[in-house]
Structure 1
């Protein structure tokens, strides 16, 4: 019984490390392909491993007077993550589907605002994957 438990624990641990490694690789790809020298990352990685039609939600605050870039990736091709940005009243500020699955969005915030970013997989492209959202600000 102890051997079975040890094997299950080992397999679970290996799986967790593989998922984290995959997410790290995708985050690096997303940063290299969507951020130029004029945008600096906020240092946060918003990510979740998703299956099927699962959706991840992240909350963040944007500060007034700052120009931001939000980039979303789930693999090694552009536009494979569907993401929306909504304000506190649930008004849609950005929807990547309406922008032909654009992998990023540049915008300037006039007043400080808290937003909810929802991300899901493009079901035509992926059945599972690491949804990664990166946020940067213009220097």
Structure 2
């Protein structure tokens, strides 16, 4: 009995912690998502109940694998903690073919997509205006270079960054719902 209560308590604590997880500026993801969802949701769409959200720094890109079911229309809603920041997102099939890219539609915050067949896709999103970078590198290549070579490479990288847009960081969320 005590073991069951301990497990139930642990699940409750973990669920509550994830629901109120801090994003930035002491706002929770929930504080960011609820107004956005209310603005763009409709009675004919039901949330899929999953959380596709990240704190993204610069061009960091979030990636989630999702199964979409045949003959179903899905609504994608994007939100950030800052009204001046937009989310750029795209869907790829398992072979890496881009099925949809909202940057081709002025980073639309809401988009409905209908799937004719069941398929696994990769939802990838990042802060619009940043150069997207996948989070795959575990080892920093600069750590493997000699000191003199590292200094040369870092100086070159710093010079190249002068012309780039300033790095933007913030919370990004993609909410997905499906049509009843």
TM-score, normalised relative to structure 1? 0.79
Count of residues paired in the alignment: 124
Kept after mapping to 2: 8 A contact 1:83/1:120: yes
Q: Which runs of 4+ in 1 moved over 6 A?
A: none
Q: Any gaps of 5 or more consecutive residues in structure 2?
A: 1-19, 130-164
Query: What does residue 39 of structure 1 align with?
Result: 45
Kept after mapping to 1: 8 A contact 2:51/2:175: yes
SS at match of 1:43: coil
Q: Which has the higher strand share?
A: 1
Query: What does residue 58 of structure 2 align with?
Result: 52
SS at match of 2:30: helix
CA-based RMSD of the aligned residues comes to 2.3
Match of 1:26 among 8, 25, 32: 32
1:63-102 residue pairs with structure 2 within 5 A?
63-77=69-83, 80-102=86-108
Larger C-alpha radius of gyration, 1 or 2? 2
Q: CA deviation at 1:56?
A: 0.5
Q: Any gaps of 5 or more consecutive residues in structure 1?
A: 1-15
TM-score, normalised relative to structure 2? 0.62
Query: What does residue 134 of structure 2 align with?
Result: none
